[in-house]
Amino acid sequence: MPQLLSLSRAARLAGVTRAELQRRIRHGELTTFEGEIDIVDLLRVYPSVSLEKTGKLEQVERIKAEALPRSHDGDTALPTPEVLLARIKSLGEALARKAAQADAQAALLEELRTRLAANGRPDDSGLLSWLDARCAEIDTLPAEDGRARLLAKDTFLRIMSASIKIIPSGHEFFVDGTESILEAAVRAGLRLGYGCASGNCGECKARVVSGEVTRISEHDYVLSEREKQMGYMLTCCNTAVTDVVLEASEARTAGDLPQQDIRAQIRKLEPEGDELMLLHVQTPRTQTLRFMAGQRVLLSLEDGASRELPIASCPCNGRNLQFSLRRGGDAFGEQLFRHRPIRQMIRVQGPVGDFVLDESSTAPAVFIAIGDGIAPVKSLIEHAISIDQIEAFHLYWSVDAPGGHYHERWCRALRETLDNFAFTPLVDAAPADVAALLQVDLPALHDPRYYIAGPASAARACAEALQAAGVPMHQVEVEAQT
Ligand code: FES
């Protein structure tokens, strides 16, 4: 019987991203059985699975970690001793079951051998010799057999982290270290329902269909006896001991997210020349902003000066928000540029906007940022990395003048780390030139999605140029900034 692994577990074992496995599946290099991969097939494509950490996946994890709140930056790689013990116990029980099965199968083989020998028919003696030869082969399998190595790594990873599968969506993610199920879901780019993230509101309630969870923090919210019997628990206060299947609803569209009004704090202002600053805003620990990558919020200072801005950071870190801020000439820009009010209150209202990633598609994504259109595009790209299902990314960023790519370090870091990310900086590129360049650079892309963000007239002109080049408009999303 084939030993099957979920896509997420197979990716972790092989040390590659899920997007790479999906690409190989689409290209017929790997086969799946109801969405799962046979260990033997995985070993055929990745024969050198090792117990050591593997390069690419580690690098991708590091990029994701950079988008995470401070509470994740510390030494949280190890689960608590209680969780470790529970996982080792659960694996020990599974091992004991396997050992009992192996003993029973050995006894069955022995009985079969005895019966064949007792029959004394010529046909049976051939079968008996074949059986003996196969058993001898299995007995002398080398200790360094690839399959054994892979199973050893799988066992190690199951002790270090547990996988969660959400139904009905089928989304999967891993719970690492001491994090709660909710924290792990947010880090993975999923939009499970939640409110306070601290056990008070009950909005993160979900039902455990199979597997074992354990409480990691107390909560004031009271679950009814009936809810407990049905397997309900709070994802913000529990972690996974074993692999878990969880019934939980997820926000699918921008309209599914609640409108929020948060009193946050200006954490940092990073000048990028005289006219631009990177604005870092931090929400209270119990009130992270739930938004979709590419959306905007209204920011208001204590004196009422306000401006709507696209969020330039990943929804996987709803506590630390980043924005690109031009001086602009309004009261909001003047206050921040003149007085640099670090640690002052700033109100965050929203989110709004529907310039969001098409998560139903694994097709390559082409991002075209014009000027400060890089802000929502950066958020989209960080989210796309977080959900790890898009085959390839291409970023074209056009600015007015040389030296204007103020997120260039971020772009280059992604390009150096991700095999499937390409970055092309442009200066003062006309929309028709961008469309022509795409045709030369990406002639063989199958069914790509295009995301264009920038000043309204330039963004629309770029979309029209793509349309004139034969791109169907249903594959193009435009954020026309005013
Ligand atoms: S999010 Fe409020 S109780 Fe979990």
Distance 221 CA to ligand 1 centre (A): 8
Portion of the chain with pLDDT greater than 70, in percent: 92
DSSP string across 162-190? EEEEEETT--EEEEETT--HHHHHHHTT-
Q: Tell me the C-alpha distance between 114 and 128, whole Å.
A: 9
Q: Which whole number is the average pLDDT over 447-467?
A: 93
In ligand 1, which atom is closest to the CA atom of 237?
Answer: 4
- Residues with Cβ < 8 Å from 311, sequence gap 6 or more? 289, 291, 293, 295, 296, 297, 321, 322, 323, 351, 375, 376, 379
Distance 459 CA to ligand 1 centre (A): 40
pLDDT of residue 320 exceeding 80, the answer is: yes
Distance 166 CA to ligand 1 centre (A): 18
Q: Which two tokens stand for residue 344?
A: 């002052």
Q: Tell me the C-alpha distance between 56 and 419, whole Å.
A: 9
Confidence at 204, pLDDT banded by 50, 70, 90: very high
Using only C-alpha atoms, what is the Rg of the chain? 27
All structural domains of the chain: 4-67 (no CATH), 158-247 (3.10.20.30), 255-352 (2.40.30.10), 365-481 (3.40.50.80)
User: Which protein residue's CA is at the shortest distance from atom 3 of ligand 1?
Assistant: 199
Specify the pLDDT at position 366: 95
Confidence at 72, pLDDT banded by 50, 70, 90: very low
Q: CA-based angle 373:375:381, to the nearest 5? A: 105
Average pLDDT of the chain to the nearest whole number:
87
In ligand 1, which atom is closest to the CA atom of 236?
Answer: 4
Q: Which whole number is the average pLDDT over 246-254?
A: 92
Specify the pLDDT at position 58: 58
Specify the pLDDT at position 144: 62
pLDDT of residue 244 exceeding 50, the answer is: yes
One-letter amino acid for residue 82 of the chain: E
Q: Tell me the C-alpha distance between 44 and 434, whole Å.
A: 41
Asked if 349 contacts 294 with a C-beta cutoff of 8 angstroms, the reply is no
pLDDT of residue 62 exceeding 70, the answer is: no
Query: What does the pLDDT look like over 161-193, one tens digit per residue?
Result: 899 999 988 899 999 888 999 999 998 889 999
pTM, two decimals, is 0.82
pLDDT of residue 281 exceeding 90, the answer is: yes
Residue 429: which region, alpha, beta or left (left: phi > 0; alpha: psi -120 to 50)? beta
Asked if 330 contacts 82 with a C-beta cutoff of 8 angstroms, the reply is no
Distance 281 CA to ligand 1 centre (A): 22
In ligand 1, which atom is closest to the CA atom of 194?
Answer: 1
Confidence at 476, pLDDT banded by 50, 70, 90: very high
Higher pLDDT, 374 or 471: 374
User: Which protein residue's CA is at the shortest distance from atom 1 of ligand 1?
Assistant: 197
Specify the pLDDT at position 74: 39
Query: What does the pLDDT look like over 212-227, one tens digit per residue?
Result: 999 999 999 999 999 9
Name every protein residue with a CB atom under 6 angstroms from any ligand 1 atom: 194-197, 199-204, 221, 234, 236
Distance 200 CA to ligand 1 centre (A): 6
Higher pLDDT, 95 or 300: 300
Asked if 304 contacts 296 with a C-beta cutoff of 8 angstroms, the reply is no
* Strands 205-210 vs 449-455: parallel, antiparallel or unpaired: unpaired
